[in-house]
Amino acid sequence: MGLMRDKPFIEVTVGGKPVNAVFYERLSTATIRDEVGQDADTVELVFDDARNEVAAPAPGALIAVSFGFRGVGSWKMGSTQLRALPLRAGRTASG
Protein backbone atom coordinates (compact mmCIF):
# COMPACT_ATOMS: atom_id res chain seq x y z
CA MET A 1 0.00 0.00 0.00
CA GLY A 2 1.53 3.32 -1.08
CA LEU A 3 1.62 6.43 1.04
CA MET A 4 -0.04 9.64 -0.15
CA ARG A 5 3.36 11.30 -0.40
CA ASP A 6 4.22 8.82 -3.15
CA LYS A 7 1.49 10.29 -5.34
CA PRO A 8 2.47 13.32 -7.38
CA PHE A 9 -0.21 15.82 -8.26
CA ILE A 10 -0.66 18.50 -10.86
CA GLU A 11 -3.35 21.16 -10.89
CA VAL A 12 -3.88 23.34 -13.94
CA THR A 13 -6.02 26.39 -14.59
CA VAL A 14 -6.53 28.13 -17.90
CA GLY A 15 -7.69 31.72 -17.76
CA GLY A 16 -8.22 31.36 -14.00
CA LYS A 17 -10.62 28.40 -14.39
CA PRO A 18 -9.77 24.80 -13.42
CA VAL A 19 -9.47 22.38 -16.33
CA ASN A 20 -11.95 19.49 -16.57
CA ALA A 21 -11.43 15.80 -15.79
CA VAL A 22 -10.80 14.90 -19.46
CA PHE A 23 -7.68 17.10 -19.35
CA TYR A 24 -6.18 14.95 -16.59
CA GLU A 25 -7.38 11.67 -18.11
CA ARG A 26 -5.60 12.45 -21.39
CA LEU A 27 -2.47 14.08 -19.90
CA SER A 28 0.47 11.73 -20.45
CA THR A 29 3.45 13.91 -19.43
CA ALA A 30 4.05 17.31 -17.89
CA THR A 31 7.53 18.82 -18.04
CA ILE A 32 8.28 22.00 -16.14
CA ARG A 33 11.60 23.77 -16.66
CA ASP A 34 12.72 26.32 -14.09
CA GLU A 35 15.23 28.40 -16.03
CA VAL A 36 18.11 30.39 -14.55
CA GLY A 37 17.74 34.07 -13.73
CA GLN A 38 15.49 36.13 -15.98
CA ASP A 39 15.07 33.41 -18.63
CA ALA A 40 11.42 32.40 -19.02
CA ASP A 41 10.33 29.19 -17.30
CA THR A 42 8.42 26.76 -19.52
CA VAL A 43 5.79 24.06 -19.18
CA GLU A 44 5.14 21.35 -21.76
CA LEU A 45 1.91 19.34 -21.48
CA VAL A 46 1.59 16.27 -23.72
CA PHE A 47 -1.71 14.47 -24.23
CA ASP A 48 -2.84 11.10 -25.54
CA ASP A 49 -5.85 12.66 -27.23
CA ALA A 50 -6.71 10.45 -30.22
CA ARG A 51 -10.39 11.40 -29.87
CA ASN A 52 -9.60 15.13 -29.84
CA GLU A 53 -11.32 15.72 -26.47
CA VAL A 54 -8.87 18.24 -25.00
CA ALA A 55 -9.56 21.78 -26.18
CA ALA A 56 -6.55 23.94 -26.96
CA PRO A 57 -6.39 27.17 -24.93
CA ALA A 58 -6.94 30.41 -26.80
CA PRO A 59 -3.75 32.18 -27.92
CA GLY A 60 -2.48 34.34 -25.06
CA ALA A 61 -4.49 32.47 -22.38
CA LEU A 62 -2.81 32.38 -18.97
CA ILE A 63 -2.00 28.81 -17.90
CA ALA A 64 -1.16 28.28 -14.22
CA VAL A 65 0.38 25.00 -13.04
CA SER A 66 0.78 23.77 -9.45
CA PHE A 67 2.52 20.49 -8.77
CA GLY A 68 4.23 18.44 -6.10
CA PHE A 69 3.51 15.49 -3.82
CA ARG A 70 0.43 15.24 -1.62
CA GLY A 71 0.96 14.62 2.06
CA VAL A 72 4.69 15.27 2.04
CA GLY A 73 4.37 17.32 5.22
CA SER A 74 5.86 20.45 6.65
CA TRP A 75 9.27 21.17 8.09
CA LYS A 76 10.90 23.59 10.49
CA MET A 77 13.58 25.77 8.95
CA GLY A 78 17.05 24.79 10.13
CA SER A 79 20.15 26.23 8.49
CA THR A 80 21.11 28.18 5.39
CA GLN A 81 24.26 27.63 3.33
CA LEU A 82 25.72 29.76 0.57
CA ARG A 83 28.15 28.27 -1.93
CA ALA A 84 30.10 29.93 -4.69
CA LEU A 85 31.21 28.71 -8.11
CA PRO A 86 28.49 28.24 -9.15
CA LEU A 87 26.59 30.46 -6.75
CA ARG A 88 24.03 28.38 -4.90
CA ALA A 89 21.91 28.88 -1.83
CA GLY A 90 20.69 25.87 0.11
CA ARG A 91 18.23 25.54 2.94
CA THR A 92 17.96 22.62 5.33
CA ALA A 93 14.70 21.78 7.04
CA SER A 94 13.71 18.86 9.22
CA GLY A 95 10.40 17.37 10.16
User: Amino acid letter at 15?
Assistant: G
CA gap 39, 63 in Å, rounded: 18
Residues 63-91, mean pLDDT to the nearest whole number: 68
- Please state the length of the chain: 95
Model confidence, pTM: 0.64
The candidate with the shortest Cα–Cα distance to 54, out of 12, 2, 5, 4, is 12
- H or E element at residue 76: strand 76-83
Residue 1 pLDDT exceeds 50: no
Beta bridge partners of 54: none
